[in-house]
Structure 1
Amino acid sequence: MADVVEIICYPVKGGAGTSTSDALLTPAGLTHDRSFMVISEDGVYRTQRRHPRLALIRPTVSADGNRLTLDATDATDATGRYGTVHLNITTSAPRRDVDLFGAAFQGIDQGDEAAAWLSEVLSTPSRLVRVPPEHDRVADGLTPGPSGYADSSAVHLLSRSSLALLNRRMAERGSPPLPMNRFRPNIVVDSGPRQGLDRDCGDWAAVPHAEDRARRVRIGGAELGYAKLAVRCAVTLVDQKAGTRQGPEPVRTLASYRRAASGGVVFGAKFSVVRPGKLSVGDEVVVREWGVAEL
């Protein structure tokens, strides 16, 4: 069948991801995933689309969920000039209005120290907010579901075989391969050692883009419901180590074979959480229901 080979959480929207061997999948996605967001002084969200240096920010949330650590490594400056900031996470500070893709939500401001540090790293006045406990956003899709500050649905799943196909097609154009982190998935799957055969898809994770057809997925103690294909944007152009935009790939190649009928290019699939539970690297990924690919 298929196994989980990587689990990645992104505590700060647009920031670097942290790989983990075990994670709790809550109704709104992995614990702490996109629970913080960098905003302008007037509350408008920041992402790597316009601020690729967000990729340099490495956030860590303490095991008890009470402390957030931020550090940054600039590939063009090895002096470590930004230092590290340790923050006490607050959920009791006054709420403020924030704008996420034109939709109005609330955020809990995490204070002036975080704001000053982020403003220096990004070279523009910025502040940090946290999702409030009463956050009630529901992302749309075939299976709607709660979501924090993610672009849309709570969980992004991608197979290694899909990336391998893309890299082969880019090689045909003379472009070098790209790492998985260009696509910022939460769950990466690959062919499992059992080699069990599904009657529709066989060893399904070995088939590029088979995740497009998965409608109900069981992993460990959790279950996911398919929401939509993942529409790709300029974030995929950002080198996640350098925090800089690097050129036309992978969007140029994806446009040659992954154009959605509804517009845009797609790569990977978004899911909502149907049943919360624990996930671990090595868990079997069982597709309980298949559908027809929208592409």
Structure 2
Amino acid sequence: MAYVVDLIRYPVKGCAGTSLNDALLTPAGLAHDRSFMVISEDGIFRTQRRHPRLALIRPAISTDGTRLTLDAACGAGGTGRFGTLRLDVTTSAPRRDVDLFGTAFQGIDQGDEAAAWLSEFLGTPSRLVRVPPEHDRIADGLTSGPSGYADSSAVHLLSRASLALLNQRLAEHGVPALPMNRFRPNIVVDSHKDHDSGGDRAAQPHAEDRARRISVGGGELGYAKLAVRCAVTLVDQEAGARRGPEPLRTLANYRRAPSGGVVFGAKFSVITPGKLSIGDEVVVQEWGDAEL
């Protein structure tokens, strides 16, 4: 058996996540997950690939989504604070064109105060936008489904067993273990069984690759695709800075997809919305073949 051991929401794309005890699974993923995005003045989304300091911004969103707080830490070793911004979220402001991986969408601009705060902290002109209610993006994959400003499908699921295997391989090369937050999952699962027992597929590393339909809490997920990893995994999420070639160098040795790219974890679309909680059992209703 596998269980939910962490639920993480990222209200602002590219910024820090918040662990939750309970979360509402909506058709577009965890409620308020990646519903805001930082953009350049010409509408192109900002990412830790080029702006690792985004990791130092810790957003908090009210349950009803009407109030957003941005709290900025100084990074590893810092004791001071940059400052806190509190915003009343608007859904009535003018829309503006935004670009996400070359695809055009719309965003609701959250005003000059947010823009000034982000521009100063990131050191480059920036603005904050929110997903509009009329946002109709459908992410592709084996199971397609609605998605906000996530890279692709709405839910990223990763097991502790997969991370344990990676850290074992890193240790063989004298590289320190990496934390789960390098991979920015929404749902982290673990099993009470010994990872080496081999008796339960859900307890094996990368079992999430083969899970095609999952029941968890009051919701249901459908497998979309493997999660292709990028340079964001090189960013120390506590320091807001890039740190060397790992984990991509090691993952490239055993997690390279036939179609190209390094993969780690899996993306899912929401089939049935519902409430999720820490400790919920994760039941795989349908298994498929691994793509690697």
Category of TM-score, reference length = shorter chain? over 0.9
Distance 1:115 1:241 in 2: 23
Q: Does 1:38 align with 2:35?
A: no
* Aligned equivalent of 2:247, options 250, 254, 267: 250
Q: Which residue of 1 aligns with 2:116?
A: 116
Q: 1:272: which partner in 2?
A: 269
2:134 aligned residue: 134
> Within 5 Å, which residues of 2 pair with 1:7-22?
7-22=7-22
1:150 aligns with 2:153: no
| Residue matched to 1:68 | 68
**What one-letter code is carried by the residue in structure 2 that aligns with 1:68?**
L
After superposition, where does 1:1-295 map in structure 2 within 5 Å? 1-75=1-75, 77-80=78-81, 82-192=82-192, 202-295=199-292
Match of 2:168, SS state, is helix
Helix, strand or coil: the match of 2:12? coil
**Contact 1:189–1:205 (CA under 8 A) maintained in structure 2:** no
Does the aligned pair in 2 maintain the 1:192–1:284 contact within 8 Å?
A: no
Task: Note the C-alpha offset of 1:77.
Answer: 4.3
Deviation for aligned residue 1:74: 1.3
User: Residue type of the partner of 1:79?
Assistant: G
Instruction: Using the aligned pairs only, state the percent identity.
Output: 79
What is the DSSP-based 3-state SS (H/G/I as helix, E as strand, rest coil) of the residue aligned with 1:72?
strand
Distance in 2 of aligned mates of 1:68 and 1:13: 13
Unaligned runs of 5+ in 2: none
Contact 1:37–1:128 (Cα < 8 Å) also in 2: yes
- Cα distance between partner residues in 1 of 2:199 and 2:189: 15
CA–CA distance in structure 2, aligned partners of residues 132 and 212 of structure 1: 32
- For structure 1, the residue ranges without an aligned partner over 5 or more in a row are none
Q: Is residue 56–residue 243 contact of structure 1 (8 Å, CA) maintained in 2?
A: yes
Give the superposition deviation at 1:204: 2.7
Relative to structure 1, the CA distance from residue 72 to residue 293 in structure 2 (aligned partners, 3 Å threshold; closer, same or farther) is same
Give the TM-score normalised by structure 1.
0.96
Contact 1:191–1:204 under 8 Å retained in 2: no
Distance 1:287 1:205 in 2: 8
- Give the distance between the partners of 2:211 and 2:110, measured in 1 at CA: 38
Separation (CA, whole Å) in 2 of partners of 1:294 and 1:124: 40
Q: Which amino acid aligns with 2:73?
A: T
SS in structure 1 of the partner of residue 212 of structure 2: strand
For these two proteins, the number of residue pairs brought into alignment is 290
Return the TM-score normalized by structure 2. 0.97
Distance in 1 separating the partners of 2:199 and 2:103: 41
Letter in 2 for 1:73: A
- Does the aligned pair in 2 maintain the 1:2–1:204 contact within 8 Å? no
Shift of 1:259: 0.4
* Aligned-pair CA distance for 1:160: 0.2
Q: Distance in 1 between matches of 2:144 and 2:175?
A: 37
Q: Secondary structure at the match of 1:83?
A: strand
